[in-house]
């Protein structure tokens, strides 16, 4: 089973690791990455989750994941995009939009790095991992927000306790 590193509230490595499902102490945090891929029209690549063991099964989402032990968030963002979508990104193309600390939500403490990459792409050219992704498509932000309202898209604003989460994607870069 994969292990991930643990950090303190300030993002300092605690020289400890854990596995998914392990109980963490109230002062232990783990890292998460979100990768938003934006095309030349300002639409975002979204994916319908296929992993039956995830809370996100059947919902639309962006590419997300947890860095493995010893892995930095930027490395994890590149790896997750390759694993889930078959898409290779360049590290210099990742723009970090935010680093969001969430404490106590469902007794999980996270530090989430939110990245955006601008890239010309055609979803038909992707090779998604069928164990992770059942469908992909491009969608404008207003459609994503409507899907969130309908309960069809993972509500990152609620999960991360950051109501302006989706504002991060507006008018940058």
Instruction: Please report where in the chains the tokens 């990459």 appear, as a residue.
Output: 117
Q: What is the pLDDT of residue 173?
A: 44
Q: What is the pLDDT of residue 115?
A: 98
C-alpha pair distances (Å), 26 with each of 4, 11, 23, 29, 106: 17, 14, 9, 8, 11
Q: What is the pLDDT of residue 106?
A: 64
Q: What does residue 138 show for φ and ψ, rounded to 5 degrees?
A: -95, 140
CB 88 within 8 A of CB 82: yes
What is d(CA 161, CA 21) in angstroms, rounded to the nearest whole number?
21
Q: What is the pLDDT of residue 124?
A: 78
Domains and CATH numbers, the chain: 3-169 (3.90.79.10)
CB 6 within 8 A of CB 25: no
| Conformation bin of residue 11: beta by default, left when phi > 0, alpha when psi is -120 to 50 | left
Q: What is the pLDDT of residue 105?
A: 61
Q: What is the pLDDT of residue 137?
A: 95
What is d(CA 80, CA 144) in angstroms, rounded to the nearest whole number?
21
pLDDT tens for the 173 residues of the chain, in order: 789 999 999 999 999 999 988 888 989 999 999 999 999 999 999 999 998 777 778 999 999 999 999 999 999 999 999 999 999 999 999 999 999 999 976 668 999 999 999 999 887 789 999 999 999 999 999 999 999 999 999 999 999 999 999 999 986 54
Token pair of 60, please?
């639309």
């Amino acid at each position: 089973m994969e292990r991930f590193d643990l950090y303190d509230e300030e993002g300092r490595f605690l020289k400890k690791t854990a596995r998914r499902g392990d109980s963490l102490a109230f002062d232990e945090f783990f890292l998460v990455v979100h990768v938003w891929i934006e095309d030349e029209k300002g639409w975002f690549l979204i994916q319908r989750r296929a992993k039956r063991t995830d809370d996100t099964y059947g919902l639309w989402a962006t590419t997300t994941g947890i860095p493995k032990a010893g892995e930095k968030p930027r490395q994890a963002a590149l790896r997750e995009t390759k694993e889930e979508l078959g898409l290779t990104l360049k590290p210099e193309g990742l723009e970090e939009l935010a680093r969001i600390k969430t404490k106590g939500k469902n007794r999980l403490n996270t530090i989430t790095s939110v990245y955006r990459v601008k890239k010309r792409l055609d979803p038909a050219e992707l090779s998604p991992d069928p164990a992770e992704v059942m469908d992909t498509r491009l969608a404008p932000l207003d459609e994503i927000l409507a899907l969130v309202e309908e309960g069809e898209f993972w509500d990152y604003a609620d999960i991360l306790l950051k109501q302006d989460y989706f504002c991060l994607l507006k008018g940058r870069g």
